[in-house]
């Protein structure tokens, strides 16, 4: 089997904090107009990457672009609907045109719903799958065609792809479990053959637009099941993304990493 060194031959001499640096790299982040996507983009920029920002709400990407610029990195904002394969391809093409390359993809775009299964319409179910699962595949496919050896794809799954949390979330849970299967298969196809690592993170309970909609009582109840005894800090999640994107994770591929304070232990 062909040997593919992490980050070409750069990983061989990296030491100390260098293994967490992304200098000279270009990262693509979907769903970058709010919430976790903003935190991911900012953290990647602080680690040294230029960042391409994609979302359906182009006007809200300006704030994220300013955060990337404040970290001293270049940014490009592209209006992108990940449910459209052509839009995903255009996003990657614009990234290469403006920033020169694609080394990291963070598949963060997603929506959540809580609808009882007997009342969920076909349209509601399909919309969640189309954005959360299909959209991640179209973006991975487009980015994978542009990526070279040493690149990294990080899919944002969820603990709800691993276990239930008491809400009627068939569509959401199915999409996130499917994303974990997609992660394994793409890693199997691309790591040895193309040198592209593919991993997923499974966030637990973090403050976000999605968790805000659940209400304080629900989150307070979930705290009882978190060994860490608290909600996560988005900076902790963003640090995990930076780690998986960089040379320090050069021998990690095909895994789903829970970042949940121990929630999935129970």
Question: Does some domain include residue 194?
Answer: yes
Query: pLDDT grade, residue 209 (50/70/90)?
Result: low
Phi-psi sector, 100: left (phi>0), alpha (psi -120 to 50), beta: left
251 is catalytic: no
Q: What is the mean pLDDT of the chain?
A: 90
Summarize pLDDT for 220-257 with one digit per residue, the tens: 777 778 898 888 899 999 999 999 999 999 999 999 99
DSSP 48: T
Summarize pLDDT for 129-172 with one digit per residue, the tens: 999 999 999 999 999 999 999 999 999 999 988 877 678 889 99
Q: Where is 201: in which H helix or E strand?
A: strand 196-203
Per-residue pLDDT at 19: 84
Q: What CATH code is carried by the domain that includes residue 184?
A: 3.40.50.720
Question: Does some domain include residue 222?
Answer: no
Q: Where is 78: in which H helix or E strand?
A: strand 75-79
**Which segment of 26-30, 180-184, 213-217 scores lowest on mean pLDDT?**
213-217
pLDDT of residue 38 exceeding 50: yes
Nearest-angstrom CA–CA distance, 122 and 107 = 24
Question: Does some domain include residue 94?
Answer: yes
Q: What range defines the domain where residue 107 resides?
A: 19-203+234-255
Question: Does some domain include residue 193?
Answer: yes
DSSP 151: E
CB contact at 8 A, 101 and 145: no
Query: What is the reported pTM?
Result: 0.91
The residue assigned the tokens 């991911």 is 40
Domains: count for the chain: 1
Nearest-angstrom CA–CA distance, 185 and 164 = 24
Question: Does some domain include residue 117?
Answer: yes
Question: Does some domain include residue 228?
Answer: no
pLDDT of residue 31 exceeding 90: yes
Per-residue pLDDT at 1: 34
Nearest-angstrom CA–CA distance, 108 and 132 = 8
CB contact at 8 A, 249 and 159: no
Summarize pLDDT for 41-51 with one digit per residue, the tens: 999 999 999 99
Query: pLDDT grade, residue 6 (50/70/90)?
Result: very low
pLDDT of residue 92 exceeding 50: yes
Per-residue pLDDT at 214: 62
Per-residue pLDDT at 216: 57
106: how many CB neighbours lie within 10 A of its CB? 30
Query: pLDDT grade, residue 207 (50/70/90)?
Result: confident
Among residues 7, 137, 172, 218, which one is catalytic?
Answer: 172
């Amino acid at each position: 089997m062909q040997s593919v060194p992490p980050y070409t031959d750069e990983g061989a001499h990296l030491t100390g904090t260098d293994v967490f640096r992304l200098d000279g790299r270009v990262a693509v982040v979907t769903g970058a107009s709010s919430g976790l996507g903003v935190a991911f983009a900012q953290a990647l920029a602080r680690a040294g990457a230029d960042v391409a920002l994609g979302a359906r709400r182009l006007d809200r990407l300006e704030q994220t672009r300013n955060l990337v610029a404040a970290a001293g990195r270049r940014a490009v904002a592209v209006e992108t609907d990940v449910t459209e394969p052509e839009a995903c391809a255009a996003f990657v093409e614009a990234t290469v045109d403006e920033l020169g390359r694609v080394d990291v993809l963070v598949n963060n775009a997603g929506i959540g719903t809580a609808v009882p299964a007997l009342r969920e319409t076909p349209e509601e179910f399909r919309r969640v799958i189309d954005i959360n699962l299909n959209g991640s595949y179209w973006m991975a496919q487009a980015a994978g065609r542009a990526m070279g050896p040493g690149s990294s794809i990080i899919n944002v799954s969820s603990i709800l792809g691993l276990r239930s949390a008491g809400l009627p979330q068939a569509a959401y849970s199915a999409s996130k479990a499917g994303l974990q299967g997609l992660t394994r298969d793409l890693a199997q196809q691309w790591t040895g053959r193309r040198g592209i690592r593919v991993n997923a993170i499974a966030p637990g309970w973090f403050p976000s637009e999605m968790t805000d909609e659940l209400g304080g009582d629900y989150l307070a109840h979930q705290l009882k099941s978190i060994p860490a005894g608290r909600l996560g800090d988005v900076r902790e999640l963003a640090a995990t993304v930076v780690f998986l994107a960089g040379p320090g994770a050069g021998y990690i591929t095909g895994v789903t990493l829970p970042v949940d304070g121990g929630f999935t232990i129970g």
